[in-house]
Amino acid sequence: MIALEPFVDPDRSLAALLDRLLPELAPGASVLIKPDWNTRHSPKPAEITTRGFLRALLSWLQARGIRSVCLAHSSLLTPPDVPYTSFMNLLELADCMELLEDFPHLRLVDLEVEPMKLRGGFLVPQALFEQDLVINCVRLKTHSGTQIAVGTKGLMGLLPDSEALRMHRDGLGPLLGQLGACLAPDLTLVEADIGMEGEGPHHGDAVSCGYYLGGSDLLELDATAAWLMGMEPAHVEHIAALALVLERKLPKAPSHWGEHRRNFAQPTGMLQPTRAARVFPGDSCSTCHVAAESLLDFVKEQPTEVRAIARLAKALLVDGVDLYMGHQPAGARPDPKRPCVALGDCAQDFAKTHALPHVGGCPVRRDQVQPALVRAMSKSGRES
């Protein structure tokens, strides 16, 4: 079952949606809520689950006598030479600390340190199987590596670092299909008063949508979300993979929801963190993203090797440099006129094919990227 509720405000809209989706929720049930928290900085609009949405959800559960509620999330994938982003850091970034005071029965569960069990080929936290109801809260977003980041992609926030890294290395599309089949939540709630289009899930632009979406059928929900975003669900690899694993046909979206459909701008496959630097993320994980995006800070932090730092700053701000990460699309070619570096183990084959300097590692270290870029500048003959 799926349902859509036009957005008025978080309390009224979410209550109306939940009344339809959970009419028989028993007062003594235990509930685990996984929010969509995946940023290390001040969140952009539509990037993460908001405090207002979580407050509305917790209030609805409290009004129905639910006293056993866990707020659960894994830590973020983090390179070994940058500050660790813990579950508590995510809670603070989402501005949700006050929820602990307003809902005294709320318990925090850091899934990164929970006991694990093997299920469907994935190591997953034991805590997920100790609840009567698991609710996956997500935003409506595009994604540079998976086209959309809604219900199935949101499940990666339940996994430990090692599993998330493995999925990126081995191919997100098929593995997300398997993950959705073995770890489908009881309910997925999509916060879509506004969504994110373009270079999601972190660098996109806000787009007005005006509804909340929810459902107990993960495949139906993701297929409908893709359709509402103007995409053909069969062309989204992990949705097609999920249908294949479940041996089901792709569900059709309710035709009467057509008024809510709009064409989201698609990811271009390129980010531009500075005026002259370009990043081609492919399907890379956040460890490579952090290494690439922190280069300017790295330049500012290093007082030594002045000549090398000057070269790097010039490349990032004036001359131009390209960084390739993850598995690149078929037909991708580096620009022969620009210095190029490949980051991370996933980009190793691309680096070999095109004879690019390569910084290996999974996770990649940020402090290895700067020397590689300097060498690339030297190789291109642009040392000054």
Domains along the chain with CATH numbers:
2-260 (3.40.50.11440), 277-379 (3.40.50)
Helix (H, G, I), strand (E, B) or coil at 26: coil
Write down the mean pLDDT value for the chain: 91
Strand partners, 110: 73
Question: What is the band of 328 on the pLDDT scale with cuts at 50, 70, 90?
Answer: very high
Q: What is the pLDDT of residues 102-136, one digit of tens each?
A: 999 999 999 989 999 999 999 999 999 999 999 99
pTM, two decimal places: 0.94
pLDDT at 298: 63
In a 13 Å sphere around the CA of 29, the CA atoms on its Cβ side amount to 17
Pairing of strands 205-215, 2-6: antiparallel
Beta-carbon contacts of 89 under 8 Å, excluding residues fewer than 6 positions away, are: 40, 75
- The end-to-end CA distance of the chain, in Å, is 62
Token readout for 351 is: 């680096």
Token readout for 147 is: 């086209």
**Angstrom distance (rounded) from CA 312 to CA 281:** 20
Strand partners, 119: 122
pLDDT at 292: 79
Q: Do residues 164 and 285 touch, judged by C-beta distance below 8 A?
A: yes
**Angstrom distance (rounded) from CA 300 to CA 313:** 9
Q: What is the pLDDT of residues 59-77, one digit of tens each?
A: 999 999 999 999 999 988 8
Q: What is the pLDDT of residues 238-293, one digit of tens each?
A: 999 999 999 999 999 999 999 999 999 999 999 988 778 899 999 999 888 888 77
**Angstrom distance (rounded) from CA 74 to CA 237:** 25
